[in-house]
Chains A and B, each alone.
Chain A
Amino acid sequence: MSNKKILIVEDDPDVRKGMHVRLQASNYDTFFAADAISSVSEARKHQPDLILLDLGLPGGDGFTVMERFKANPQLGVIPIIIVSARTGHDNRVRAMKAGAKAFLEKPVDNAELLAVIRHALGETENPLVHDVGTL
């Protein structure tokens, strides 16, 4: 079976690389977009199984990006996980209402990130996210 594909939308190159190394080690193929505009075209090109989306992005924030994805019949079904330095209840509510699968705050614990990804991809049934270690 071929590896699942994950699109990482993140403007910080170091964080992007860190995620890439971590996800690759868990047998995911990764693709990148560093801004709002290229995120949609990269998604079209690679047809990822999952998107990790930052909220603070150049060229339009993560909420705008999510709207664009959700408005597209093909891309709209791809599960989106928010990984952001923006915290707070309001952002969380807004993201979940817009259809995000989960909202993770930076810095994300590795085990939690992987557990949430696996669950969103349907690879695990019971994520029990609250049981994994917290950073």
Chain B
Amino acid sequence: MKAKALQVLLVEDSAGDARLLREMFSKETPGSVVITHVERMSDALRNLAKGGIDIVLLDMGLPDGHGIDTVRRAQAAAPGVPLIVLTGLDDEALADQAMKEGAQDYLIKGQIENRALPRALRHAIERHRMQAETDLLREQQLQLKDEFLSHVSHELRSPLTAIYQFVTILLDGLEGELNPTQREYLQISLKNIRQLKSMIDDLLEVTRLQAGKSRIEPQLTSIPDLVADTATTLQETAAAKGITLSSDVAPELSYAYADPTRVRQILIILLDNALKFTPANGVAKVHARVFEKDPRFLLVEVSDSGCGIHPEMIEQIFERLYQAPDTGQAGRKGLGLGLHICKELVTRQGGQIWARSEPDKGAILSFTLPIFSIASLITPAFKIERSSKNSVAVVVTELGSETGWLSSGEAVEPSHQVRDALCRCMHSDLDVLLPKMGPAAGTEFFFIVAVTDEIGGEAITKRVRERLAGRDQNQQTGLTYSVSYRLLRSASRNENELMEVYVERMAMKIQEMVDDVISPRVVKNEQ
């Protein structure tokens, strides 16, 4: 069987080196290797773009390209083509770097054995092919697994629903009184149903995060409220294990710019873990404060007095499907998805997550979240020097219901639609639509901030009114809108005042105005 000729692209600017390399192929069967020799990177890229090359032999010092950059450019031009770099004797560090960038191998000039070169080439091609196959297979398997997990988590919901329904029907006494033992057993069932549900939720969450389908909506978020809320939720579990669960959070802590549902989810996972790995009579704590190393962030720490994490494992615990090795703790292992979900959620909200631990001295899991700052949100609006303007128009849209009360569930969808509509009404792409600015019961407010004067403010207000009115004619939604604007003036920025300071000053005025609008509507949740 006659094999196809091996197409080698030799990129080498030294005529002497090129000749030596060519000679190394002289013992090969005639016609089995075709060498295309070019001296410049630009010619190499042109050849690669044409296609048909099986392997590249690349000198890393060319008239129009040098060092690791040549490897990157060659790989960008033809990602599927294996590459061997040629280096000098004293360049092994560079060669290592090239390998990390994806080169298959490196050969040191002057040390290449005659017969070895063709063999090295064939091996490199074969290795590359196998690698590509493995990568593709891995990708296909991951996708298949994600689809499978998504399917499974959906299919498990119906039977779980039926079990939950009938267990609670009995527990609620709808079919008659229960004796204490019956009640206890059904409570155990219910606890397990909840565990099962949370596993199914985790499965789905991971597949969604993986597919980028997860929605994260950062807004003004109170960490003290969320910490108190989750601590209360888990107090019972802690007490049942004899663990003291406490929190230490300054109530006046700055707000975070984060999605409250997601932060709650993170806290629950971390606290759940802490409780799981802490023995009876242990302690679990939540701390939250401004992050000392970067005061633009809040730091939340969940610590426990459990078995700790082995130092070698400390990086791995955030990987998908990681499970703690046998810790001697009774209980179930779970799916190994929790910390992975935490990491994804924290990172997507602009924070970081890490762990510290010493074996048998417990573990501290810490994460950061950006502090809510109107100043940083509105900074883009001041990016272009609109020097004549020393005012900011804030267009306020209130979304309500004809019944006078908009429940949080009902508001979700209209709220997204109003946001989309408002984005289309903004005058310039420098105008800023603020995120949800805090809890107002029964109604929802939206704020557009624009660096402009009365005329601009009026124009945006009119556009918003028209667009929302047009929207409502088509759909009978039972929703009401009211739109108005307020002009906030500030003394002009003098030459010596830094832009940041000026923006900060404006941000404070905006905050006061927002508080003024929202606060009469805030209903404190008494429960």
A interface residues (Cβ-Cβ under 8 A, vs B): 12, 14-15, 18-19, 21-22, 25, 85-90, 92-93, 96-97, 101-102, 105-108, 110, 116, 119, 125-131, 135
Question: Which one of B40-48, B150-158, B247-255 is at the interface?
Answer: B150-158
> What are 23 inter-chain pairs, A to B, with CB distance below 8 A?
A12-B162, A21-B165, A21-B174, A25-B174, A85-B157, A85-B158, A87-B154, A96-B413, A101-B410, A102-B409, A102-B410, A106-B157, A107-B160, A107-B164, A107-B197, A108-B161, A125-B403, A125-B404, A126-B442, A128-B407, A128-B408, A130-B408, A130-B409
Contact B213 A88 (CB under 8 A): yes
Which of A128, A130, A131 has the most chain B CB atoms inside 10 A of its CB?
A128
Given contacts A18-B162, A97-B413, contact A86 B408 (CB under 8 A): no
Which residue numbers of B lie inside 8 Å of A, CB to CB?
154-155, 157-162, 164-166, 168-169, 172, 174-175, 193-194, 197, 204, 208, 213, 215, 403-405, 407-410, 412-413, 416, 442, 525, 527
What is the number of contacts between chain A and chain B, taking CB atoms within 8 Å?
91
Give the residue among B175, B408, B409, B413 with the most A Cβ atoms within 10 A. B409
* Shortest CB distance A108–B (Å): 7
**Residue on A nearest B154 in the bound complex, by CB:** A85
Q: Within the assembled complex, what's the spacing in Å between the Cα atoms of A88 and B161? A: 18
Assembly CA distance A117 to B395 (angstroms): 36
Q: Which of A25, A131, A135 touches B194 (beta carbons < 8 Å)?
A: A135
Contact residue among B174, B193, B215, B442 (Cβ-Cβ distance under 8 Å from A89)? B215
Query: B160 contacts A87, CB within 8 Å?
Result: no
Closest chain B CB from A7 CB (angstroms) = 18
Residues of B within 8 A of A128 (CB): 407-408
Please, which residues of chain B bring their CB within 8 A of the CB of A105? 157
Contact B154 A86 (CB under 8 A): yes
Residue of B162, B208, B407, B442 touching A88 (CB-CB under 8 A): B208
How far, in Å, is B263 (CB) from chain A's closest CB?
A: 15
A116 to B408, CA, bound (A): 11
Chain B minimum-CB-distance residue to A19: B165
Which residue of B is nearest A120, CB measured? B410
